[in-house]
Amino acid sequence: MSIFSGKKSILAIAVSLAVSGAAAASSNQTQLTQTGEDNLAIIDQAGSLHIAVAQQQGDLNELSVIQDDNFQIAQSAQTGDDNFTSIEQYDTWHEAYSFVMGDSNDVTIYQDDFYNVADVFVMGDANSVDVLQDGALNEGNVGLSGDENSVELVQIGDQNWSTLEFTGDRNTASSITYGSGNETAVLFGFGSDNLVDIYQDGDANVSGLVGLSGDDNVFFSYQEGTGNVFIGYDIAGDQNVIDVFQVGNSNLFLLDPLNGDDNVVFADQRGDFNVIEGPSGVVGDLNEIDVYQAGSDNLALFETQGDMHNVTLVQEGDFNQAIGLSYGDSNMVAASSTGDFNFNGVAADGEGNNISSDQAGDFNFAIVEFQGDNNVASLTQTGDFNEADIFGAGASNTALTATQQGDLNLVNMLVTGSMNSIALLQSGDMNSIVGLGGMSSAFQVGGNGGSVSISQVGSFNTVMGQQMSDSSAMSIQQVGNGNTAIVSQTN
């Protein structure tokens, strides 16, 4: 595919203006072809409606294109070694296209003012690309095929769009945008040991990582403003790092999915109305997920499939929701909320998992669910009007501890399986431990050889429970006035 296929609509406008006779602007076109060694080409165009097309084949070539005024188009192609391309465009409505094939090449494009477009494709190793756009409605696209290449794409203005596409190893790509309505995407990357750094400062920014396949890649995305969105889709490989930091309101983080082992995902949101999701989550082993949110009305949801994952969800603020799900063995899932009206849920399906839920505030609600054997589950709620649902179907040799401190605390519990150890502690007034059906139902613990220990400190405490097993033990301690305990043991 030729890179010289410019936008027909722009050329049509240029031709129309040139032949209309209503304008006094000139319309010049330069076409340059060089074949050989040690060549130097300089094209300088001033005025309106200019087109510069340059092609160099050989070694040690240097090309410089300078265009000043309106409706400028520059296209360059270089094939060989140690080439240097410089394109400078000033004023309004510029387009620059550059194609380089070879090693150790440098491409520099500078565009100033309104509606600039820059497309660069480099094939080879150890090449350097620098694109600077200053103005509004800019578009920059850079494609790399090779190893140890370096790209820096800077856009300053409004409504900018930039894409980075690379294939190869040990490449470095940096994208910096200032303004509103910016979008930056890394598309269809394939390779290892690559570094991508995206920095956006403004409103309504979008950054994305789509179709990356490889190992030991590092991706940084920093967004500051309102309405920022990060999208990670179809990412595969091992030992990759994805680090996303968003500051502002109405931020959204999506990751669907990440396949591989030993990957690390950091997501930090500080502001209001933030959302982090992982609908297909992380698939593989030994992956680490760390999510931190500070503000109001935040939602964090993450799901992992595989073994030995570490998932941490931390929220500080009001009206937060956090759900951590793990399918596999030897995983660790922890959710922590600090604030009011938080919903907090952790769940694990497998063996040898460790799940924990921690809430500090008022009107907290937590769900702790586990399936499998040899799991450890813990729940801690501090505040008033706390409620927790504990559900373990067919779980054996599981150790569960739940602690509630405050008034009007409620635990609803159903656990089946053998050799489970359950310890519940409530401190405050009007505490209740009942079944999943509510205050009129009794909690149920099934299986053989299990133990249940309940301690309530306060007034008007209620325990309604049932053990359906052999060789099981139940201990209940109530300290306070007006307490009620109704339990039954059957086998």
Q: Which tokens belong to 22?
A: 């209503």
Distance CA 323, CA 126 (A): 45
Under 8 Å between Cβ of 387 and 361:
no
Q: Is the peptide bond before 279 cis (omega within 30 degrees of 0)?
A: no
Are 361 and 338 in contact by the 8 Å Cβ rule? The answer is: yes
pTM to 2 decimal places: 0.89
**Amino acid type, 281:** G
What are the tokens at 303?
């799901």
Beta bridge partners of 164: 142, 186
Q: What is the pLDDT of residue 256?
A: 82
Per-residue pLDDT of the chain (491 residues; tens, 9 = 90+): 333 333 333 333 232 333 333 233 457 789 999 898 888 899 999 888 889 999 989 888 899 999 988 889 999 998 888 889 999 998 888 899 999 998 888 999 999 888 889 999 999 998 899 999 998 888 999 999 999 999 999 999 888 899 999 899 999 999 999 888 889 988 877 899 999 999 999 988 899 999 889 999 999 999 999 889 999 999 999 999 999 999 998 999 999 889 999 999 999 999 989 999 987 778 999 999 999 999 989 999 999 999 999 999 999 998 999 999 999 999 999 999 998 888 999 999 999 999 999 999 878 999 999 999 999 999 999 988 899 999 998 889 999 999 999 989 999 999 998 999 999 999 998 899 999 888 888 999 988 899 999 999 998 899 999 988 888 899 999 999 889 999 998 87
The predicted pLDDT at position 8 comes to 32
Query: Minimal CA–CA distance to 151: which of 135, 137, 168?
Result: 168
Residue-level pLDDT at 36: 85
Q: What's the burial of 310, exposed, middle or buried (CB within 10 Å: 0-12/13-18/19+)?
A: middle
Residues 149, 490: Cα–Cα separation, whole Å:
72
> What's the gap between Cα 168 and its chain centre?
23
Distance CA 70, CA 26 (A): 11
pLDDT at 24: 34
Question: Is the separation of the CB atoms in 201 and 224 below 8 Å?
Answer: yes
Cα separation, 316 vs 459, whole angstroms: 31
> Residue 21: CB partners within 8 Å, gap ≥ 6?
none
Question: What is the CA angle 125-178-50, rounded to 5?
Answer: 65
Angle value at C-alpha 238, between 236 and 243, nearest 5 degrees: 80
Contact call for residues 200 and 224 (beta carbons, < 8 A): yes
In the 3-class helix/strand/coil scheme, how is the chain assigned residue by residue?
CCCCCCCHHHHHHHHHHHHHCCCCCCCCEEEEEEEEECCEEEEEEECCCEEEEEEEEEECCEEEEEEECCCEEEEEEEECCCCEEEEEEECCCEEEEEEEECCCCEEEEEEECCCEEEEEEEECCCCEEEEEEECCCCEEEEEEECCCCEEEEEEECCCCEEEEEEECCCCEEEEEEECCCCEEEEEEEECCCCEEEEEEECCCCEEEEECCECCCCEEEEEEECCCCEEEEEEEECCCCEEEEEEECCCCEEEEEEEECCCCEEEEEEECCCCEEECCCCEECCCCEEEEEEECCCCEEEEEEECCCCEEEEEEECCCCEEEEEEECCCCEEEEEEECCCCEEEEEEECCCCEEEEEEECCCCEEEEEEECECCEEEEEEECCCCEEEEEECCCECCEEEEEEECCCCEEEEEECCCCCEEEEEEECCCCEEEECCECCCCEEEECCCCEEEEEEECCCCEEEEEEECCCCEEEEEEECCCCEEEEEEEC
CA distance 299 to 122: 41
Integer Cα distance of 267 and 320 in angstroms = 16
Tokens 């249940």 belong to residue: 452
- Residue 231 burial by Cβ neighbours in a 10 Å radius (0-12, 13-18, 19+): middle
Tokens of 76: 């360059």
